[in-house]
Amino acid sequence: MIKTDILIIGAGPTGLFTVFEAGLLKLKCHLIDALPQPGGQCSELYPKKPIYDIPGVPDILAGDLTNNLLEQGKQFQPGFTLGERAETLERQEDGSFIVTTNKGTRHHAPIVAIAGGLGSFEPRKPLIENIAYYEDLGVDYYIKDPEVYRNKKVVISGGGDSALDWSIFLADIASEVTLVHRRNEFRGALDSVEKVQELKLLGKINLVTPSEVTALHGNKRLEGVTIEREGVKILYEADHFIPLFGLSPKLGPIGDWGLEIEKNAIKVDTFDYQTNIPGVYAIGDVNTYPGKLKLILCGFHEATLMCQSAYQIINPGKKYVLKYTTVSGINGFDGTRK
């Protein structure tokens, strides 16, 4: 059981900044995210896009903002459970909570801060009859550790940047990479398309277009896939099938936790962003209230007020006098410049 003061569901910019604000109050945080990396929309949807409306930062790439937020929170040593979706919330008799993920990891905390943004990003799955059977037995929707594919036969399908980039990357690791796409044209960056064509000529990538993977085979785990082109079916040996068709956000299991929901977002009290369940807060894109704006800086503000309120629940009756970070001297944060 992982224990912490504030359990944050969602490691997007709002969740990451919560670590810093909580740290100033000597509160420990642990973050759960369904994605294998932190950063939420910034790292998953637009890491290379500039952002111009972070106060005091005229221009920053979304990926760099994520790195900076991680750096800012590092001093407070947050914990991470990545690549797992928070599935259930159980209120304990003492008012604390146990949150369990889809992989069975249990977390215990007096405070839960839902910073789930648009929801957990679920992979778009191809319509292949027995695909669920092979999940984690050769079918992967994310690549967490490329080493898993060393000297393996890998079939990737998709026409966007992820499919192209991973095909290029795995060409040096896997024993065989086959890229399948239902059209001849790819949607990804031109540069990546050219690189894939080069690797095809060098015999390092099998490019199979316009085609689709229509069936999966194997006894205890994946052993092969059927690739179909204009009604002609060919069986390919494969240790792994990686469909990379993008991710779609869904509020998912959070919607069943007894929270007041309005238009797919969680209703909160703007006093401290608490939900209808005492001790459970919702901050950032996931919440709604009159005048709500889905902007990063609004998430930062909400996280800050939420931490002050959480402090009062964790330390009932204890007075906290707000000081500026440069004079606080809290938790090793002495305000001196590094």
Known binding residues for FAD = 14, 33, 41, 46, 86, 121, 285, 326
Q: Residues 241 to 260: which contact ligand FAD by CB under 6 A?
A: 252-254
DSSP helix/strand/coil, 164 = helix
Q: Binder to ligand FAD among 4, 8, 15, 281 (CB under 6 A)?
A: 15
The span from the CA of 338 to the CA of 301, in Å, is 25
Segment lying near ligand FAD (by CB under 6 A), choices 188-196, 210-218, 292-300, 308-316: 292-300
34 binds ligand FAD (CB under 6 A): yes
Show Cβ contacts of residue 310 under 8 Å, excluding neighbours closer than 6 positions.
Answer: 5, 6, 22, 27, 111, 113, 281
Distance CA 88, CA 104 (A): 10
Residue choice 22, 29, 89, 115 for contact with ligand FAD (CB under 6 A)? 115
Q: How far is the CB of 2 from ligand FAD (least distance, A)?
A: 14
Is 211 one of the binding residues for ligand FAD (CB under 6 A)?
Answer: no
Q: How far is the CB of 194 from ligand FAD (least distance, A)?
A: 25
Given 5, 8, 10, 274, the residue binding ligand FAD (CB under 6 A):
10
Residue choice 6, 7, 8, 9 for contact with ligand FAD (CB under 6 A): 9
Give the number of other Cβ atoms within 10 Å of residue 123's Cβ.
Answer: 16
* 2, 45, 98, 305: residue in contact with ligand FAD (rule CB under 6 A): 45
Give the x/- contact pattern for ligand FAD in 68-87, rule: CB under 6 A: -----------------xx-
297-307: burial string, b at 16+ Cβ within 10 Å, e else: ebbbebbbbbb
Structure-token match 């003061």, residue found: 5
Q: Does the protein bind ligand FAD through residue 148 (CB under 6 A)?
A: no
User: Is residue 186 within the footprint of ligand FAD (CB under 6 A)?
Assistant: no
Residue 6 CB: number of other CB atoms within 10 A?
Answer: 28
Asked whether position 59 contacts ligand FAD by CB under 6 A, the answer is: no
Question: Cα(192)–Cα(314) distance, rounded to whole angstroms?
Answer: 51
Among 7, 8, 19, 35, binds ligand FAD (CB under 6 A): 35
Cα 274 to Cα 283: distance, rounded to the nearest angstrom:
9
Residues 6+ apart with CB under 8 A from 328: 24, 335
Beta carbon nearer to ligand FAD, 10 or 224: 10
Token pair 């007096």: residue:
110
Rounded to a whole number of angstroms, the distance between the first and last alpha carbons of the chain is 35
Q: Which stretch binds ligand FAD (CB under 6 A): 12-20, 70-78, 197-205, 305-313?
A: 12-20
Q: List the structure tokens of 132.
A: 């669920």
Which residues here bind ligand FAD, judged by CB under 6 A? 9-15, 32-35, 40-42, 45-46, 49, 51, 53, 85-86, 115-121, 252-254, 284-285, 294-297, 299
